[in-house]
A = this chain, B = another copy of it.
Amino acid sequence: MRERRLGERPLTTRGRRTRNALVEAAREVFEEKGFEETRVAEVAARARLAHGTFYTYFDSKDDVLHEVAKGLTAEMFEASRSGEPADAGPVDRIRASTERFLRVYRDNARMMHVIEQVSPRNPRFAHVYLEIRGLFVDRIASGIRRLQKEGAADPALDADTAASMLGGMVEHFARVWFLHGQEHDADNALETATVLWARGIGLELTPADGDTASPRTSRGPSAAGAV
């Protein structure tokens, strides 16, 4: 094997800073151009570094992507854990977690797309995608199971499959919204998702749950900020 690149453990402060700059720059360019269209030269340039310096820290373009993916996973992990009001009712919890998801997804949609783009070619990244997705889906499945135990949700439902579908419903909607640029009203989206989800797993909706679900007209993507 060739000499191991730097970039592993022992890095000076300066080295760490340089490396971070590269990772950040890489993420920026990936998001703008996608993986294939990203040039290592541009990543280095954006980090205000010489072209060659890139290879002081990474073995390849795939390698930085892996690093960026690690950061993405961490961020998504954080988001998937982030607390929800323990004292709220099930519908409010669904709404809250959907809102949280839409927010993180909005900020990470492009990077998620890049990972998916690369997946077919590199199983390493296929795994990353599935792992991130699992973070949310597993959580949803737990929630459904809890509600089933409490007798609030339909016990006949396969919690895992339902979770995969409901999670996918929100994720896919977010893709179309944030990635493909289809216009949607944030509040309307949130309420519709909440209602479909809650009712879908068999929860009883009180009037209070549904009253914001009245149809609204799209306010366009600028409303994304409202998520």
Interface residues of A (CB under 8 A from B): 1, 3, 34, 36-37, 41-42, 45, 113, 117, 119-121, 126, 129-130, 133, 154, 156-159, 161-162, 164-166, 168-173, 175-176, 179-182, 184, 188-189, 192-193, 195-197, 199-202, 210, 213-216
Cα–Cα distance between A63 and B14 once the two chains are bound (Å): 31
Q: Which of B41, B120, B159, B165 makes the CB contact (< 8 A) with A193?
A: B165
Q: Which of B161, B176, B195 makes the CB contact (< 8 A) with A168?
A: B176
Cα–Cα distance between A36 and B120 once the two chains are bound (Å): 11
Cα–Cα distance between A176 and B160 once the two chains are bound (Å): 13
Q: Are B157 and A213 in contact (CB under 8 A)?
A: yes
Q: Are A3 and B117 in contact (CB under 8 A)?
A: no
Enumerate 14 A-B pairs (CB-CB under 8 Å) in ascending A order: A154-B199, A154-B210, A157-B192, A161-B184, A161-B215, A164-B173, A164-B176, A164-B184, A166-B196, A168-B169, A195-B200, A197-B200, A199-B199, A199-B201
